[in-house]
Chains A and B, each alone.
Chain A
Amino acid sequence: MIEVTNLTKRYAGHTAVDDISFTVARGEIVGLLGPNGAGKSTTMRILSCFQPATSGTVRVAGFDVFHDSLEVRRRIGFMPENNPLHPEMRVREYLKFRARLKGLGIRRSRERVATVMEQCGLNDVAKKIIGQLSKGYKQRVGLADALVHEPELIILDEPTIGLDPHQIRSVRALIKGLAEKHTVLISTHILPEVEMTCSRVLIMYEGRILAADTTENLQHAMSRDGQVIAEIAAPSQELQECWATMAEIEQFDVSPMDGSFQRCALTPRAGLDLRPAIYQIARERGWNLRELTRSRHSLEDIYVQVTRPEEEEG
């Protein structure tokens, strides 16, 4: 659906997007994740034909965004950052205007406006003036606008910014529901948003893509050398001696917990999963084991690790 090849965007004095390439398949929900100023919005503006690229090619549904701009714009629904709307218009009137602007005939626009208003939960506010709506409803109007002409690709730039937790949940649910019919590209710097809604993540930092994979794969890759946490009821001395003799354990830490339980944080040598061995030992020695988990890296850990400045790493 989207093919980006060596895309670069330079402004006077700085490079906003630096030679990035990626593809998005039909039906995917892809999250473009990165801190403010990473180049997410610039990438989205290029994809939506609002800005040209300095170099590289971008194709949407097989059409070049520069040469076949109108064809591309017919196939995308774009909701820019801050969701600009006409505050003086009424919700239904605005959506009808947008539907007509996007080339829908009178009957078709009436049908589609009714559908997207239902889909986005806007029926209660159909006759309200947009300027008087809550931020959550405004965001839904923006989404309804992006959907009204049934685009193949929906591009949403920070769709949940500034919303309260309830509104965020409803917008996320709405976005997840789009996956059946549309390809969705979401930019955000809110990590749970990507974790909850996207099937794949592109992590951008300083104009470059540093990681691109499914959230599960990224977590798997990161947790290969992940710690195992075991909560065992046994004397501390005995536990420490046991871990010290195990060749698979590189590092361990035993700290007391409530009652006779000890919390053991065990770091394995690369690539090993310690859990079966620990369970076996606990069983053999008659230790009471109440928790055995391999610590999974959250997307936040991955994000921090990937976008960590080089000097910090050194």
Chain B
Amino acid sequence: MRVFLTLTRRELAGYFLSLTGYVIIAAATLLTGLCLCSILSQLLLKPMPMPLNELFFGTWYPWLVLIPVAPLITMRSFALEKASGTYETLMTAPVGDGHVVMAKFAAAMMFYCIMWLPLLGCLVTIHYFSVKPPPLDPALLGATYLGIVLVGGLLLSFGCFASSLTQSQAVAAIIALGFNLGLFILGNSVAELRGKFGRFGNLLDCFAISDQMQDFARGIVDTRAIISFVTLTLLFLFLTLRVVDSRRWK
């Protein structure tokens, strides 16, 4: 546990010791702010009886943040260490491969959660300055952030896997970006594809990440979605572990 915490702290600090972390947070905050401004201006013209977070996840903006940013967060996790040679000092220290994988993933998740904090700040600010503020339902917010964490877990675990495959951060980011885009497109085509796969069509719902995220934003916590996200996340973490372990049988 001590090793895991030490590594996680170091990995998380790594994001803030370089400019990358600040740029990612700034870009995500800017996009979130722009999206909320655009939603508010639309609400001025045409009021809608929907919570703001649901409206937010009904737009493309959060995906504009998630799809490119998740690879940017994870591309450094293994690729940077391999390129700089610190992977050798890390793996010759008395540290288990599982600890390394979990620490890198945990640090990426923490950074990702920090990245989403400005959204919470925006929602609270809007709530505070509304003339007739709708109640800021904590359960609804909780469900929204649960969705954010689950989607993030899936995308970041794949990002870690992609980063473990190569020494190049750019290659790792491109692989993860391709996966994220593919998953997003697949998720948006589930309705059309479901009929073609007969009784297995329902399995495709696992990949309908934007629909599932919208459900979470509506306050619907579907255990099927939780299980599918957690399972896929664990699968990619397991694959990452196998790749890390593979140096011992190459």
Contacts and interface: CB of A to CB of B under 8 A. Distances in A.
B89 A70 contact: no
A86 interface: yes
A52 B84 CA distance: 21
Given A66-B248, A89-B17, A101 B95 contact: yes
B10 interface: yes
Given A52-B250, A86-B86, A88-B18, A78 B3 contact: no
A204 B94 CA distance: 28
A101 B3 contact: yes
A289 B94 CA distance: 63
B208 interface: no
Given A84-B85, A88-B18, A97-B6, A51 B247 contact: yes
B111 to A, nearest CB: 15
Contacts of A84: 84-86, 88-89
A49 interface: yes
Nearest to B84: A84
Interface string B75-101: 000000000111011111111100000
Contacts of B86: 84-86
Given A51-B247, A52-B250, A88-B18, A73 B7 contact: no
Contact of A76 (B3, B88, B92, B96): B92
A51 B18 CA distance: 31
B14 interface: yes
Contact of A73 (B6, B85, B92): B92
* Interface size classification for chain A: 20 to 34
Interface residues of B, number: 24
Tell me the dominant secondary structure on chain A's binding face. Answer: loop
Given A80-B85, A86-B86, A73 B250 contact: no
7 closest pairs, A vs B, by CB?
A84-B85, A73-B94, A100-B6, A88-B17, A48-B92, A74-B94, A78-B92
29 contacts: A49-B91, A49-B92, A50-B247, A51-B248, A52-B249, A69-B248, A73-B92, A73-B93, A73-B95, A74-B94, A76-B92, A78-B89, A78-B92, A82-B85, A84-B86, A84-B88, A85-B86, A86-B84, A88-B18, A97-B6, A98-B93, A100-B2, A100-B6, A101-B7, A101-B10, A101-B90, A102-B93, A102-B94, A145-B89
Given A80-B88, A88-B14, 18 more contacts: A49-B91, A50-B88, A50-B91, A50-B247, A51-B248, A52-B247, A52-B248, A66-B248, A73-B95, A82-B85, A85-B89, A87-B84, A89-B17, A97-B6, A100-B3, A100-B6, A101-B10, A101-B93
